[in-house]
Amino acid sequence: MIGEAALRALLSRMTPDEKAAQATQLYEAFFDAVLAEGAPADGGGAVFDPTGPLGDLRIRRATVAAAGSVLGSSGAARLRRLQDAYLAQSRLKIPLLFMTDVIHGLRTVFPVPLALGASFDPALVRSCARIAATEAAASGLHVTFAPMCDFCRDPRWGRITETTGESPWLNGLLAAAAVRGYQGGDLADPSSVAACMKHFAGYGAVEGGREYDETDISERSLRALHLPAFQAAVDAGAALAMPAFTLVDGVPAAASPWLLRTVLRGEMGFAGVTVSDWGAVAELIPHGVAADRGEAAEKALRAGVDVEMMSSCYANGLAPLLLADRADPAQVDEAVLRILRLKDRLGLFEDPHHGADEAREKAVVLCDAHRAASRDAAARCMVLLANDGTLPLRPALRRIAVVGPYAEAAHLLGAWACDGRDEDCVPLAEALRRRLGADRVVAAPGCAALDEALDPDGLAAVLAAVRAADAVVLAVGEHPSRTGEAASRTDPVLPAPQRALADAVLDAARAAGTPVAAVLYAGRPLVVPELDDRAGALLLAWFPGTAGGEAAADVLLGDREPEGRLPASFPESVGQIPVHHDRLPSGRPSADGFSNGYQVGYRDRSFLPRFAFGHGLSYTTFAYGAPSVDRPALWQEGEGADAAVTVSVAVANTGPRTGTTLVQLYLRDLVASVSRPLLSFRGFERVRLAPGQTRRVSFRIDEPMLRFHDDRMRFVSEPGDFHAFVGPSAARLSDPVAFALRAGRPDRAAGGAR
């Protein structure tokens, strides 16, 4: 590192135009064209005018020649050449930053983040992020736009696939794990990349699940639900933050000093770089809060946006704003200095190529060890939603029919798969053939695409395969292109042709007495009563990544146990959305989930989910005893601030094989200054037991676990009575055990976003 004094000296030599360029991030295509031609020696003002949408930016060649960062490219050889060409013509020799979206893997793709949430395993998330960072850094990247810390309860929103679920507390654990995995112990390590947490904040609350639409979030909901994962990422050392596209209290995040300066930097303690989302600064104009690009630049800078991604408000507007005294020179300098500090932390002034190394890239990208890790992660994230004994498939089965569009489909990667390729994936039927032999597995997709009308000949072939089989694996799901950004759906169900195929297969199997195990590929919670009601087993494979086909075969055959648990509730109908475990109590509660006159609920359907948060079965069965507490209250006479209540429960394996259960802890604050959730998820322990084995599992409850934002928005605990619940899901919990929090501790936390 060259240090703070050298960075400030460098800053003092920069012109206003160079500072504006340093705060601008552009797509690689700009650099390819301009640097190939050679930048004007005098910094010339000619406009670079590519065709297509990029031409709308009206970026000057001099801006490209001094820009601070590059978006959306990877490859060691390519980025080394680009860095060298850039530095060769650069006046101040400030290296470029290379950034892209390495969301759940570079070339080795892991399960989508929502699936990783189903692992309930911070160590696994950290390991996957570490492998992704190793591949990304070797391929020349310095920054990944991950983890996504957004909170969402609406499966209509396509980007729910990038979240880790509906529990703010679990989201925080996994966000911190991802940051630590990407960044390692030192950003200068050539196997590390800087993590950019996104999207700050409230993006997951878009109305109706509509991408980019308005949000309406109370400050209490913002602090209680949307900020905890960001706070955890900040505490883990996240180097960058990306403001959301969307509004907070009527103000776009990229124009909100309260959000970015008061909350993010002041209350939460974030000291890193903020980078706008694609075009978000210019989008202040259609939001209706800026009249032109100059005003957009002025508002974004005042709010605290350091880097403008893919719009030219800073590039063309900051210098004129400074001349007109409409921009604070100190705010410009602080933004540029933060960018320079990040480059210094990455060691780019000493080694502009960081970890970019063609030989290392070839050795680590999609290597055998990484592919094995992808397979392991995929198996650990799969959730067995239902099972009547159909799974695992019996070894003695002579013929297995794998039917449905995902029998032979290789698009298993999900949204934001970076450099992942479908050809790296092994389809489910092929994975089973490799395990059992081609003579025992027959594939009959029935249709080539996921949502095309059924071909009569194809359907006939499917039904013939079903009738001739000893067991059927029905492989269905949504297409990856229907998840992720700009992929909102009004009706998160299987496409109609697949529902028709499922009905036909299940009818034929029932007539033949053939068991059916359904495998569901998805990037969001889906409404799938046609599978849950009729298939003997339902395995949620998610979008499992590069080795997902092999992992699904491992689980179906019983070589791997389904260890995943739902991080987001699956609704019973679209009309229930949002449905989640941490509802607030109603003044007229329903005892059974149905409205009865003047009670909360619906007359035609329960408001409870089809599959609740935390749900997931094993290949064995477990019995939970009644939980107990070791003491009635926290902070009894003479105790210190580290006092705790311990809740414990006996768990026994009552089934025929060794298996794993996820023991879960939920809390309820019975009376408080504001209404508190019926259930707050606050602990878990994965327990592996042999048949007949019993283990006692304990959870420590201390005062910080009981804090919340009170009626004056202070982050405190309040004395009173509490209930603790233990069980295998939010829908299968013990009777509560009671404990109390006594008054009298003077050192309880107050205020802030935590």
Confidence at residue 743, expressed as pLDDT on a 0 to 100 scale: 80
Mean pLDDT, residues 536-551 taken together = 98
**Residue 493: DSSP 8-state:** B
Confidence at residue 710, expressed as pLDDT on a 0 to 100 scale: 97
Range of the domain at 269: 17-360
Q: Let me know the angle formed at the C-alpha of 350 by 348 and 352, rounded to the nearest 5 degrees.
A: 40
Considering the domain architecture, whether residues 393 and 531 belong to the same structural domain is answered as yes
Confidence at residue 300, expressed as pLDDT on a 0 to 100 scale: 98
In the structure encoding, which two tokens stand for residue 75, read together? 């490859």
Residue ranges with strand state E in 383-487: 383-387, 400-403, 441-444, 471-477
Considering the domain architecture, whether residues 446 and 473 belong to the same structural domain is answered as yes
Residue 638 pLDDT level (bands cut at 50, 70, 90): low
- For the residues of 529-592, what is the DSSP string, one character each? HHHHTT-SEEEE--S--TTHHHHHHHHHTTSS------SSPBPSSGGG-S--S-PPPPSS--SS
CATH classification of the domain holding 383: 3.40.50.1700
The amino acid at residue 118 is A
Find where tokens 């200095």 sit. 337
| 39 pLDDT more than 60 | no
pLDDT tens track for 415-456: 999 999 999 999 999 999 999 999 999 999 876 667 777 788
- Domain final position from 548, 576, 604: 576
Considering the domain architecture, whether residues 441 and 489 belong to the same structural domain is answered as yes
For the chain, the domain total comes to 3
Considering the domain architecture, whether residues 165 and 289 belong to the same structural domain is answered as yes
Which residues face 645 on adjacent strands? Answer: 701
> Is there a contact between 94 and 22 (Cβ–Cβ < 8 Å)?
yes
pLDDT tens track for 216-271: 999 999 999 999 999 999 999 999 999 999 999 999 999 999 999 999 999 999 99
Rounded to whole angstroms, what are the CA distances from 213 to 221, 358, 408?
Answer: 18, 42, 37
| 51 pLDDT more than 80 | no
In sequence order, the 6+-apart residues with CB closer than 8 A to the CB of 176 are 122, 232, 233, 235, 236
Considering the domain architecture, whether residues 498 and 445 belong to the same structural domain is answered as yes
For residues 39 and 220, which has the higher predicted lDDT (pLDDT)? 220
Rounded to whole angstroms, what are the CA distances from 191 to 84, 132, 183, 420?
Answer: 20, 10, 8, 19
Rounded to whole angstroms, what are the CA distances from 559 to 339, 395, 521, 554, 655?
Answer: 49, 11, 20, 5, 17
Burial class of 375 by CB neighbour count within 10 A (0 to 12, 13 to 18, 19+): buried
Residue 401 pLDDT level (bands cut at 50, 70, 90): very high
Considering the domain architecture, whether residues 545 and 638 belong to the same structural domain is answered as no
| 753 pLDDT more than 80 | no
Whether residue 530 is contained in a domain is answered as yes
- Domain final position from 310, 325, 360: 360
Considering the domain architecture, whether residues 330 and 389 belong to the same structural domain is answered as no
Q: Does the annotation mark 559 as catalytic?
A: no
- Which one of 17, 101, 277, 357 is the catalytic residue? 277
What percent of the chain has a predicted confidence (pLDDT) above 90? 88
Confidence at residue 55, expressed as pLDDT on a 0 to 100 scale: 60
Q: Let me know the angle formed at the C-alpha of 571 by 566 and 577, rounded to the nearest 5 degrees.
A: 115
Considering the domain architecture, whether residues 35 and 173 belong to the same structural domain is answered as yes
Weakest mean pLDDT among 483-487, 621-625, 650-654, 746-750:
746-750
Confidence at residue 591, expressed as pLDDT on a 0 to 100 scale: 83
Mean pLDDT, residues 502-513 taken together = 96
Whether residue 454 is contained in a domain is answered as yes
Considering the domain architecture, whether residues 169 and 281 belong to the same structural domain is answered as yes
Weakest mean pLDDT among 39-43, 108-112, 178-182:
39-43
Whether residue 137 is contained in a domain is answered as yes
Whether residue 11 is contained in a domain is answered as no
Confidence at residue 41, expressed as pLDDT on a 0 to 100 scale: 41
**Residue 608: DSSP 8-state:** S
Total number of residues shown for the chain: 754
Whether residue 217 is contained in a domain is answered as yes
- For the residues of 64-122, what is the DSSP string, one character each? HHH--EEES---HHHHHHHHHHHHHH-SS-PPPEEEE--SS-SSS----HHHHHHTT-H
Report pTM. 0.96
Neighbours of 248 (CB within 10 A): 26
Residue 38 pLDDT level (bands cut at 50, 70, 90): low
Confidence at residue 42, expressed as pLDDT on a 0 to 100 scale: 44
Considering the domain architecture, whether residues 502 and 546 belong to the same structural domain is answered as yes
Considering the domain architecture, whether residues 387 and 346 belong to the same structural domain is answered as no
- Domain final position from 516, 549, 576: 576
Whether residue 28 is contained in a domain is answered as yes
Residue 367 pLDDT level (bands cut at 50, 70, 90): very high
Considering the domain architecture, whether residues 252 and 194 belong to the same structural domain is answered as yes
Whether residue 631 is contained in a domain is answered as yes
Cα(236)–Cα(280) distance, integer angstroms: 26
CATH classification of the domain holding 124: 3.20.20.300
Residue 519 pLDDT level (bands cut at 50, 70, 90): very high
